[in-house]
Amino acid sequence: MRIDPGSEQGAIGKIRLVCVALALGLVGFTVVALVLGPKATPGGGGGGLVSASLMMASFVAGVSALVVPVALRKTIVAATVKRIDAGMPEEELVETVHQGYATQTLLRAAMGEGLGLIGGLGIWVTAEPAWAAVPAVGVVLIGLALPTRAKLEAFEREVLDAMG
């Protein structure tokens, strides 16, 4: 299977646009939470139970953002191979591989966004500005998920290797 470099750039550009939109939405929500959130005294905004619940949720979301995309990568590769093995015209092969890569990349970015939104909610509910660190980590995770040609080529190689 030969991938046209022009189609790679198109696929990467579309995925990158979605990732940037996720990051900007997260930053926007965090700013709104900081500016328009409750004006309670930090430490007294959301109460201990709410703060502890949000802390646990952010921990689970953070671990999930790191583990789930790695755990599902083989499943996404296998699903891509299965779609290819089902038989399709040559011109659809490239699009199928790009769709698999998009799925994997957007899953990783969405997991980072989810973590960040929990942090934004923490700011909003507890009035604790320290919660801004959680959306910052979310933006970093989205940034790490940004597609590159090298990552796409690595995914293509993984699919080819799985095809045997």
Distance CA 109, CA 103 (A): 10
Q: Output the CA torsion sign for 119, 120, 124, 130.
A: positive
Grade residue 46 by pLDDT with cuts at 50, 70 and 90: low
Give the pLDDT confidence score for residue 43 in this predicted structure. 54
Give the domain ranges of the chain.
5-163
- Pair 56, 147: CB distance under 8 Å: no
How sure is the predictor about 40, in pLDDT bands with cuts at 50, 70 and 90? low
Nearest in space to 124 (alpha carbons), one of 17, 48, 50, 24: 50
- Higher model confidence: residue 39 or residue 23? 23
Residue whose C-alpha is closest to residue 58's, from 133, 110, 128, 108 = 133
Distances (CA, A) of 125 to 45, 52, 95, 113, 115: 6, 12, 43, 18, 16
Between 5 and 163, the more confident residue is 163
Confidence band for 94, pLDDT divided at 50, 70 and 90: confident
pLDDT 10s digits, 2-38: 455 556 777 899 999 999 999 999 999 999 998 887 7
pLDDT at 36: 85
